[in-house]
Amino acid sequence: MADSQQTDPAPSWWSRPEGTAELRREGVPAPRPEAGQPGPEPGPAADPYTGAASGPEPDAPAAPVVRYDPWGDQPLQVVDRGRQRRGVGLWQLVAFGAGVALLAGGIGGYLGVVAERQSSTRLELPQAGVAAAGRAPGSVAGIAATALPGVVTLHVRSTDGSGTGTGFVLDAQGHILTNNHVVGDAKDIGVTFSTGESVSAELVGRDTGYDLAVVKVSGVRGLRPLSLGNSENVQVGDPVVAIGAPFDLSNTVTAGIISATGRPVTAGGDKGDGSDVSYVDALQTDAPINPGNSGGPLLDAKAHVVGINSAIRGADKDDPDRQGGSIGLGFAIPINQGKRVAEELIRTGRATHPVIGVTLDLQYKGDGARVGDKAADGKPSVVTDGPGARAGIRAGDVITKVDGQRVRGGDELIIKIRAHRPGDPLTLTVLREGRERTLEVVLGSANGS
């Protein structure tokens, strides 16, 4: 039998007809019996090809065939559609999106790291090239480069402990200038150069009144003496550079200006008898100076030494906000005075002091310096045939000016006098019995301590 596709019109039972089952056309299945009613008796199955009944007994009556009734109340098969699916909530979408974002970020970061490590391109930020090492001679860096080879750090050990100070080379013979309070009681003195080389030094001479001392090193080659300037040329506002070892930090460079000149400064006095008091007609600077800077050079714009850093003014001890270090008030001994004293110390081990041959009343509270009535040993306050006596100074006179510069006290008069050399002439303004007098005096000489 050849294969063919049925092309007959669709059977009319696809649309349920009105009427009884007896009116069904041939070949239309019988309706499904109602529940609880007996169905037709089973019979032999019909041959699907011939329509003839088949079975062991061909003559037996045919059993009723159960056919599918499309209009039956209960279909033969029931489709299990499972549990009804519910809609997706907003929080689930948010959680899902966050998870995807984290996963994507992690994967992207990992891939970026791997790509960077495997990339042959090297990351380099823009940077200036290497410049010439030299600096302008008048700059702070230029001044420091010139002076540092001639500056040394002093490590001193005494019976009271150890300390640090600064000095600078004066000549090729190894003489080094520093402060007396740095090496005054030293048992051992060590000198360290800017190159790091360290040697021992010996004390040549010192002077308490000027707070200056000279030590010497031996067997050191290539010494670089510093050039000495002239402190008379210094003016307020001039730039200066200080070099030293504050708190043992060697080769420390600071910069500032000359804040004032001719500042009367006294230091020392720890012994109580006045023998260790130094009187300085100082240069004032705001270049930071701290403990350990003492004895170091104060340099001008030409890298010439114009002063020896010696003292600082700190806050009052009873000030609750007292600052322990520099507050911008540093003082240096003028190099003209330091040069003269250093030369004398190198020659003789001692320095001379200019004097006028009078004893001052240091308890006097008025304006000026009053000549005492008697000396401490009971002798006359004006030395017989001394410089003051020859100039006409008398006991009780009040000296108010030196070379036209006002004097406010006895310490200031001493400082003004010691700023000169023995033999220098001075003009003194003296107040006597209410009248001012002008006296000419030639300074005498006395050995220092």
| Distance, CA of 137 to CA of 145 (rounded, Å) | 9
Q: Give me the residues paired with residue 279 across strands.
A: 266
As given in the structure block, the two tokens for residue 342 are 């250093």
CA atoms within 13 Å, Cβ hemisphere of 361 = 19
Cβ atoms 208, 448 nearer than 8 A: yes
Query: So what's the pLDDT on residue 73?
Result: 54
Measured in whole angstroms, the distance separating CA 128 from the mean position of its chain's CA atoms is 23
Query: So what's the pLDDT on residue 131?
Result: 86
Cβ atoms 372, 360 nearer than 8 A: yes
- Terminal Cα-to-Cα distance of the chain (whole angstroms): 150
Tens-of-pLDDT digits for all 449 residues of the chain?
444 444 455 454 344 444 444 444 445 555 555 544 455 555 454 444 444 444 445 455 555 555 555 555 555 555 555 555 555 677 777 888 888 888 887 887 777 766 666 665 677 899 899 988 888 999 999 999 999 999 999 999 988 889 999 999 999 999 999 999 999 889 999 999 999 999 999 999 999 999 999 999 999 999 999 999 999 999 999 999 999 999 999 999 999 999 999 999 988 766 655 667 888 899 999 999 999 999 999 999 999 999 999 998 866 665 555 556 778 899 999 999 999 999 999 999 999 999 999 999 989 999 999 999 998 888 999 999 999 999 999 999 999 999 999 999 999 999 999 999 999 999 999 999 999 999 999 999 998 76
Concerning whether 119 is annotated as a catalytic residue, the answer is: no
DSSP character string of 85-154: PPPPPHHHHHHHHHHHHHHHHHHHHHHHHHHHHH-SPPP----PPPPPS---TTSHHHHHHHHGGGEEEE
DSSP 8-state code for residue 46: B
Other CB atoms within a 10 A radius of the CB of residue 306 amount to 26
Q: Give me the residues paired with residue 161 across strands.
A: 158
Residues 6+ apart with CB under 8 A from 428: 356, 391, 393, 399, 401, 402, 438, 439, 440, 441
pTM for the whole structure: 0.70
Q: For 398-444, what is each residue's pLDDT tens digit? A: 999 999 999 999 999 999 999 999 999 999 999 999 999 999 999 99
Other CB atoms within a 10 A radius of the CB of residue 329 amount to 17
Other CB atoms within a 10 A radius of the CB of residue 152 amount to 30
Write down the catalytic residue from 175, 207, 211, 259: 211
As given in the structure block, the two tokens for residue 269 are 């006095």
Concerning whether 4 is annotated as a catalytic residue, the answer is: no
DSSP 8-state code for residue 23: G
DSSP 8-state code for residue 415: H
SS percent in the chain: helix, strand, coil, step 5: 20, 30, 50
As given in the structure block, the two tokens for residue 205 are 């001479």
The residue type at 77: Q
Write down the catalytic residue from 181, 304, 353, 420: 181
Residue 322, φ and ψ in degrees, nearest 5: -60, 130
Q: For 155-201, what is each residue's pLDDT tens digit? A: 999 888 899 999 999 999 999 999 999 998 899 999 999 999 999 99
Query: So what's the pLDDT on residue 393?
Result: 96
> Going along 218-273, which residue ranges are E strands?
239-244, 252-267
| Distance, CA of 329 to CA of 343 (rounded, Å) | 29
Concerning whether 194 is annotated as a catalytic residue, the answer is: no
Write down the catalytic residue from 294, 310, 326, 381: 294
> What sign does the dihedral 286-292-294-297 (CA atoms) show?
negative
The residue type at 402: V
